Amino acid sequence: MPTPILKLRDLVKSFGGLRAVDGVSMDVQERTLTILIGPNGGGKTTLINLVTGVYKPDQGKVLFDGEDITDRPPHEIFRLGIARTFQIPQPFRKLTVLENLLVCYPNNLGESFLSALRRGRWARIEERAVERAFKLLKLLNLDHLWDQESWKLSGGQMKLLEIGRALMSNAKLLVMDEPVAGVNPVLAHEIFKALRRLKDKLGLTIFMVEHRLDIALQYTDEAYVMASGKIISKGRPEEVVIDPQVIEAYLGS
């Protein structure tokens, strides 16, 4: 039996007179890669901001792992196990790949940790953090670059590093807004393969907005389509893309 880890119920979010999210209910099943697609301005990013606590809904509920998180602030939602990546990766450029992960380990936050890193005082760093970091680097195919300063990474490697940084928190759900935007197709496939590995090996659930359907579909378990604030279709990705309502929504946009 599939178990939903994230349940959205009748969510509404308006900006002035515009209902950007207009009564959305949906489930994201545990350990799936679930994608949200739809024409520009359909409300996808707004929906993700409701899940991660950036916006509060005007109506409706967000349930994560059985808990009502609707009114929780973003840092609490993060602590409960929802991590997020941003469209523009922002690693510390002068830190190495490994160090960039270590600074994201929840108990290592803060300047004293950073200065310890610079002075090479590795003893202060929890062994568990280093273990977690290397596990992630392996799954991301970045382990050979662990000692590389991150400004030397390619754009695609930077995106992989960003994913690793988000997952240092032991998150159960990773939320992403267009993770392969602006990345060439070869690298985009690499990123999706890495996401599948993370999902399988860490028991992670991934919920993402993505425009590059041609690339995303083969890695996707379930797809939802959003247009004008509403979910207009859902199902297996190959079914959803031939749904006449979906085709009409894209043509009309």
Token code pair at residue 138: 């392996």
Least gap, CB of 176 to Mg ion (angstroms): 11
Q: Could you give the angle at which helices 155-167 and 185-202 cross, rounded to 10 degrees?
A: 20
Q: Could you list the beta-strand ranges (E) of the chain.
A: 4-15, 18-29, 33-37, 59-64, 67-68, 82-85, 173-177, 205-209, 222-227, 230-235
Interface with ligand ATP (CB under 6 A), residue total 11
Q: Parallel, antiparallel, or unpaired for β 222-227 and 59-64?
A: unpaired
Q: 209 near 176, Cβ under 8 Å? A: yes
Residues whose CB falls within 8 Å of the CB of residue 214, separated by 6 or more in sequence, listed in order: none
Least gap, CB of 230 to ligand ATP (angstroms): 12
Q: Which does 74 bind (CB under 5 to 8 A by kind): ligand ATP, Mg ion, none?
A: none
Q: Which does 90 bind (CB under 5 to 8 A by kind): ligand ATP, Mg ion, none?
A: none
Q: Which does 53 bind (CB under 5 to 8 A by kind): ligand ATP, Mg ion, none?
A: none
Q: Could you give the angle at which helices 127-139 and 185-202 cross, rounded to 10 degrees?
A: 130
Instruction: Please report, as residue ranges, which positions from 208 to 247 form the binding site for ligand ATP (by CB under 6 A).
Output: none
Q: Which of 9, 23, 30, 45 binds Mg ion (CB under 5 A)?
A: 45
Least gap, CB of 174 to ligand ATP (angstroms): 18
Q: 125 near 132, Cβ under 8 Å? A: no
Establish if 96 lies at the interface with ligand ATP (CB under 6 A).
Answer: no
**Using CB under 5 A as the criterion, what x/- string covers residues 48-87 for binding Mg ion?**
----------------------------------------
Q: Which does 196 bind (CB under 5 to 8 A by kind): Mg ion, ligand ATP, none?
A: none
Establish if 228 lies at the interface with Mg ion (CB under 5 A).
Answer: no
Q: 86 near 177, Cβ under 8 Å? A: yes
Q: 190 near 156, Cβ under 8 Å? A: yes
Residue 102, phi-psi category: left (phi > 0), alpha (psi -120 to 50), beta (remainder)? alpha
Least gap, CB of 225 to ligand ATP (angstroms): 11
Choose the binding region for Mg ion from 44-52, 112-120, 146-154, 236-244 (rule: CB under 5 A).
44-52
Q: Residue 118: phi, psi to the nearest 5? A: -60, -35
- Please measure the distance between the N-terminal and C-terminal CA atoms of the chain and give it in whole angstroms: 37
**Using CB under 6 A as the criterion, what x/- string covers residues 35-74 for binding ligand ATP?**
---x-xxxxxxx----------------------------
Q: What are the residues binding Mg ion (CB under 5 A)?
A: 44-45
Q: What are the residues binding ligand ATP (CB under 6 A)?
A: 15, 18, 20, 38, 40-46
